[in-house]
A and B are shown apart, each in its own frame.
Chain A
Amino acid sequence: MTARATDRQRKLAFTFVAWAVATLIFFPILWTVLTSFKTEADAVAIPPKFLFFDWTTDNYAEVWERTDYLRHFRNSVIISLGSSLIGLCIAIPAAWALAFSPTRRTRGVLMWMLSTKMLPAVGVLVPIYLLFKRAGLLDTRTGLVIVLMLSNLPIMVWMLFTYFKEIPRDILEAARMDGATPGRELLHILTPMALPGIASTLLLNVILAWNESFWTLNLTAASTGPLTAFIASFSAPEGLFYAKLSAASTLAIAPIVILGWLSQKQLVRGLTFGAVK
């Protein structure tokens, strides 16, 4: 009886903590969305107004009118999907080799790949900028696809490596006995079996690339900037127009939040894979 009672108390406490943390994380997003529906005066009012203000969609109308949202949206889609898909084409064979033909240096190679993510991006900004300038890649979508693909490649290889590791060796050996060449083994056995993992990897990298702002802001100007550049264009010259900035931010994050919401299950599985068995 008492055991059951303490169990319930524990459950309540956990639920409370979980809600508190979730609220804390979600609050800035909620606040941005709310602010986007305020007038500029309400947006900076003190004390802040939570729900009781004059709701308006003027900000959206103005943002829509003044900028080309759809162009930025299209850029974001091309850059995030493009970099993730090209990345997959390189990461799948790489992870396959690392997972199924391990050598003494496999661990080291994996760590080395990860270590490139520990380098602050700004450290290579100048060389990359100069390289891009010389190659004529500045302010092009191709340039962004390349740089985002390369910067996310280590994560893709790592994720796929952990998925491939879970595939029983026996099955690949059976395929070899059955006469499958490495290419057909990859095509007919490994890829279909790892499809959930590949989907999670793709999804996560689309989100990462969508939200990436360092390279997108530094390597693009007006024409090829994705949605991150679109938000930034509202903050720089008109820093005080919080409501419009919020409306722009909401427009920019909405597609990816919806995508994330719809694919929650896949994403959580992808991120906890290997950790929970």
Chain B
Amino acid sequence: MTSIALKNVSKRYGAHEVIPGLDLEIEAGELVVFVGPSGCGKSTLLRLIAGLEDVSSGQLLIDGRDATRLPPAQRGLSMVFQSYALYPHMSVRDNIAFPLKMARRSKSVIERKVNDAARVLNLQEYLDRKPRELSGGQRQRVAIGRAIVREPVAFLFDEPLSNLDAALRVNMRMEIAGLHQQLGATMIYVTHDQVEAMTLADRIVVLNAGRVEQVGTPLELYRSPATLFVAGFIGSPRMNLLGGFEARQYGAATIGIRPEHVALSSSEGRWRGKVSLAEHLGSDTFVYVDVDGLGTITVRTTGDVDVRPGDSLWVTPEETCLHRFDEHGRAIRQGPPQRH
């Protein structure tokens, strides 16, 4: 198991700075997810670690050894690409065997390892097929197979599930989680999907414009977002964010309240509004209430509630669950949120 550390790593393309000096420690055996909107630099960061891009300044340590200038193959990392990046002219067997052939391993070793990987990933029946004869999920499994045969010190995943349909994505997500438990290897996983991040990660790194907004376990990020950006990014439906007078009452520039921490009532409450939309998911209901002067407040409530668009309702935030942010978007931690 391998630790990876980034020390003041930056990446510039000409005058354009994609990643301004960034520090990060990834512990051995950890599954760390880089999450953020598109263009936040998460894929670039992964490619810097992989060695597919050169670091402009700073240092990359793999197991404490400087790997900043090592070519990709010598870093001992495996990568799974969004597009699978299988070799189209080779059979599944040859695809999986390719890294071993490049490492000039013996034929018997190659055969044994390819068969082991195929068994782990349920690919035995497909070993002689070409990638174009496989479904999306099977292709992704081949890509993972190619990554595991080398027994890399760490795995890098670059949005591996975003080309799959929703049902398959959930399955593959579980398979990757299972693989992590089975191999116990260090993994870095890039995604823009916060659900993927929340379900897979030991720790999440939220990135915005090349900067780390917050690092923490999924629940830490959910319960106490360090910045307004994290508050808005993590959680679905989004946290309700309010500014102006309501926020100033709590001594903040912005206050946030999760949809599940807002109570609905037909008779009394804090703010009165009109339901614009009600999404009945069975287990939950998401109610969107338009409140004059505040905008739309999202409320998450039980599945059996009977609400229709046009209904007039009261909404009340649970004060102990309020998040407060200053004018720079940083969370205010001191003291409980109290109305002045």
| Interface positions of A (Cβ within 8 A of B) | 168, 170-171, 173-180, 184, 188-189, 192-193, 195
A-B contact pairs, 9 of them (CB 8 A): A168-B85, A171-B85, A171-B88, A177-B79, A178-B73, A178-B98, A184-B102, A188-B98, A193-B88
B43 → chain A, closest Cβ, in Å? 12
In the complex, the answer to whether B83 meets A177 with C-beta atoms within 8 Å is no
Query: Is A171 touching B87 in the complex (CB atoms < 8 A)?
Result: yes
**1-54 of chain B: CB within 8 A of chain A:** 50, 52
Quick check: B89 and A174 within 8 Å, CB to CB?
no
Check B204 for interface membership: any CB of A closer than 8 A.
Answer: no
List A contacts of B71 (CB < 8 A): 176
* B→A interface (CB under 8 Å): 50, 52, 71-73, 77-79, 81-83, 85-89, 98-99, 102-103, 146, 150
Q: What residue of chain A has the Cβ atom nearest to residue B94's Cβ? A: A188
Shortest Cβ distance from A168 into B: residue: B83
B143 to chain A, nearest CB (A): 8
Complex: chain B residue closest to A173, CB-CB:
B52
* Minimal Cβ-Cβ distance residue in A for B102: A179
User: Are B88 and A179 neighbours in the complex by a CB distance under 8 Å?
Assistant: no
Q: A170 touching B83 by the CB < 8 A rule?
A: yes
* A174 partner residues in chain B, CB cutoff 8 A: 79, 81, 85-87, 146
- Cβ A192 vs Cβ B89 within 8 A: yes
Contact of A177 with B87 in the complex, beta carbons under 8 Å: no
Known contacts A173-B52, A176-B72, A193-B88; can you find 18 more A-B pairs with CB under 8 A?
Answer: A170-B81, A170-B82, A176-B73, A177-B50, A177-B73, A177-B78, A178-B98, A178-B99, A178-B102, A178-B146, A179-B73, A179-B99, A179-B103, A179-B150, A180-B73, A180-B102, A192-B89, A193-B87
Distance between Cα atoms of A184 and B89 in the complex (Å)? 15
A192 cross-chain contacts in B, Cβ below 8 A:
89
For B79, the chain A residues whose CB sits under 8 A away are 173-174, 177
By beta carbon, the residue of chain B nearest A189 is B87
Q: Which residues of A contact B78 (CB under 8 A)?
A: 177
Instruction: Please indicate the chain B residues that have their CB under 8 angstroms from the CB of A173 in the complex.
Output: 52, 72, 79, 81, 85
On whether A176 and B52 interact (CB within 8 A), knowing A168-B83, A193-B89, the answer reads: yes
By a CB distance below 8 angstroms, the chain A residues around B98 are: 175, 178, 180, 188
Given contacts A170-B83, A184-B102, contact A177 B52 (CB under 8 A): yes
Q: Across the A-B interface, give the 3 residue pairs with the lowest CB-CB distance, nearest first.
A: A179-B102, A179-B73, A174-B85
Known interface pairs A177-B50, A179-B102, A184-B102; A170-B85 also in contact (CB < 8 Å):
yes
In the complex, which residue of chain B has the Cβ closest to the Cβ of A171? Answer: B85
Q: Would you give the shortest CB distance from A197 to chain B, in whole angstroms? A: 13
Compute how far the CA of A184 lies from the CA of B99 in the bound complex, rounded to whole angstroms. Answer: 12
A177 to B76, CA, bound (A): 9
Chain B contacts for A178, CB-based, 8 A: 73, 98-99, 102, 146, 150
